[in-house]
């Protein structure tokens, strides 16, 4: 087995091989091993990203001019972002041969104390692999689901109006309220225009499902609910309320706005969401609206 750590951008054939490897793993494990952000960053140049590729070939099969080993020999992959967030996956047919250990060791070598590596679904072996390097669970991300059921009517706080997000017009205002609402979040609050634009180009992006609440007095965006539809399921993708407007019922109203849209306008039976285990306000909100926890992702760190 040969490891190669390469900075972004990946050759397109290699990116395609990683996507296929992730698909095979998801089919076998019933859990996606790579998150949306990692999959989005397989294409194009993303400063600070590192891709770790594990090939079936023996050492020496890589030459200085490029990859003598074909992407078809790919048996494992790991991604490391500039913030230390990381993921790794080994092809189902290549497991228990030390590839995961080699990938994680490389992530530690490059990520150091900043490393925060995901185990989506906390599948068998993840805890054992982490323990080899004294990595501990430092974060729990809950996956919640709600099946179609009557929804309460929406009660809007005074002095706000709700409308759809307009790409190119509302970008800066959304980035500002997202940064404020998620100031203490490990990833969400740091989203940039590039992260927003990446998502404009996804098949699932639908401004009609992206709701903004605008303060009538200031004209500022006070909160938002961005919904997503993939594989015929709705998602409460991100809900955020400006700290100055929290506690006024706006989060519940915006959440319900999106749930009505997904369940009634888009006729979807199932709606899911991700929420951090430490996020008590959000968890109470969603549980009050009929969501229940059905899966768990964890992150390990030194
Ligand atoms: C799928 C996701 O997007 S998960 C991420 C959710 N977003 C965030 O965490 C960003 C930062 N937080 C926020 O923006 C807000 O705190 C939100 C969106 C979680 C809640 O928005 P708010 O406008 O404050 O909520 P709202 O006033 O509508 O309260 C609705 C319910 O949430 C719960 N809740 C809200 N704040 C709190 C709190 N501080 N403590 C406990 N429960 C709370 C309660 O169940 C409340 O209902 P109740 O007032 O009848 O008890
Ligand atoms: N509710 C949001 C905003 S805070 C949240 O917690 N997002 C997580 C979540 O994102 C999901 C993930 O990227 C999935 O791959 C994608 O299919 C979903 O649509 C996303 O909601 O998990 C991420 C880690 O995998 C995490 O970084 C996000 O903050």
Residue 140 lies in a domain: no
Three state DSSP letters for 91-137: CHHHCCCCHHHHHHHHHHHHHHHHCEEEEECCCCCHHHHHHHCCCEE
Residues 183 and 285 in one domain: yes
CB 103 within 8 A of CB 78: yes
Between CA 181 and CA 216 the distance in angstroms is 19
The β-bridge partners of 163 are 212
Residues 170 and 127 in one domain: no
DSSP element (H, E) containing 240: strand 233-241
Sign of the alpha-carbon dihedral angle for 164, 170, 174, 177: negative
Is any atom of ligand 2 closer than 6 Å to the C-beta of 87?
no
Predicted confidence at residue 288, as pLDDT, reads 98
pLDDT in tens, 38-47: 999 999 999 9
Which residue has the CA at smallest separation from atom 41 of ligand 1? Answer: 281
CB 269 within 8 A of CB 234: no
Residues 202 and 81 in one domain: no
Residues 82 and 217 in one domain: no
Is any atom of ligand 1 closer than 6 Å to the C-beta of 236?
yes
Measure Cα distances from 43 to 49, 117, 195, 220 in Å.
11, 21, 13, 34
ipTM value for the complex: 0.90
What distance in angstroms lies between residue 178's CA and the mean position of ligand 1's atoms? 15
Is any atom of ligand 2 closer than 6 Å to the C-beta of 35?
yes
How many Å is the maximal CA-CA distance in the chain? 68
Residue 162 lies in a domain: yes
Predicted confidence at residue 217, as pLDDT, reads 97
Which residue has the CA at smallest separation from atom 31 of ligand 1? Answer: 285
Residues 77 and 159 in one domain: no
DSSP element (H, E) containing 194: helix 193-200
Residue 139 lies in a domain: no
Predicted confidence at residue 158, as pLDDT, reads 96
Q: CB under 8 Å to 197, separation ≥6 — which residues? A: none
Residues 84 and 126 in one domain: yes
Predicted confidence at residue 292, as pLDDT, reads 98
Residue 269 lies in a domain: yes
Predicted confidence at residue 57, as pLDDT, reads 75
Counting the structural domains of the chain, the total is 2
Sheet with 50-55, side-by-side order of all strands: 2-7, 50-55, 74-80, 85-90, 116-120, 292-301, 136-147, 270-276, 233-241, 221-230, 210-215, 160-164
Ligand nearest to the CA of 226: 1
Report helix, strand or coil for 173.
helix
Residues 108 and 209 in one domain: no
Residue 7 lies in a domain: yes
What residues in the chain have per-residue pLDDT under 50?
A: 60, 62-68
Residue 266 lies in a domain: yes
Cis before 9? omega within 30: yes
Task: Give the range of the structural domain holding residue 92, as residue numbers without chain letter.
Answer: 2-134
Residues 27 and 128 in one domain: yes
Q: Any idea what the CATH number is for the domain that residue 74 is in?
A: 3.40.630.30
């Amino acid at each position: 087995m040969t490891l190669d750590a390469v900075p972004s951008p990946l050759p397109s054939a290699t990116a395609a091989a990683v996507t296929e490897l992730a698909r095979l793993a998801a089919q076998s494990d019933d859990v996606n091993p790579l998150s949306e952000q990692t999959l989005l960053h397989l294409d194009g140049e993303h400063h600070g990203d590192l891709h770790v590729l594990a090939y079936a070939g023996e050492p020496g099969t890589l030459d200085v001019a490029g990859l003598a080993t074909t992407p078809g020999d790919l048996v494992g992959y790991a991604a490391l972002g500039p913030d230390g967030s990381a993921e790794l996956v080994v092809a189902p047919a290549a497991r228990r041969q030390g590839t995961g250990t080699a990938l994680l060791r490389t992530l530690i070598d490059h990520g150091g104390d900043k490393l925060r590596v995901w185990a989506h679904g906390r599948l068998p072996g993840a805890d054992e692999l982490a323990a080899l390097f004294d990595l501990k669970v430092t974060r729990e991300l809950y996956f919640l689901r709600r099946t179609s059921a009557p929804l309460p009517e929406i009660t809007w706080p005074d002095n706000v109006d709700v409308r759809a997000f307009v790409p190119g017009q509302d970008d800066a205002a959304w980035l500002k309220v997202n940064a404020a609402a998620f100031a203490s979040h490990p990833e969400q609050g740091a989203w940039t225009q590039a992260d927003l634009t990446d998502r404009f180009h996804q098949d699932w992006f639908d401004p009609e499902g992206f709701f903004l609440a605008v303060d009538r007095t200031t004209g500022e965006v006070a909160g938002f609910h961005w919904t997503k539809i993939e594989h015929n399921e709705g998602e409460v993708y991100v809900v955020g309320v400006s700290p100055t407007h929290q506690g006024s019922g706006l989060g519940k109203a915006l959440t319900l706005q999106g749930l009505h849209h997904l369940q009634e306008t888009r006729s979807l039976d199932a709606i899911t969401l991700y929420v951090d285990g430490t996020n008590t306000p959000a968890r109470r909100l969603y549980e009050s609206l009929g969501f229940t926890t059905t899966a768990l992702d964890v992150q390990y760190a030194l």
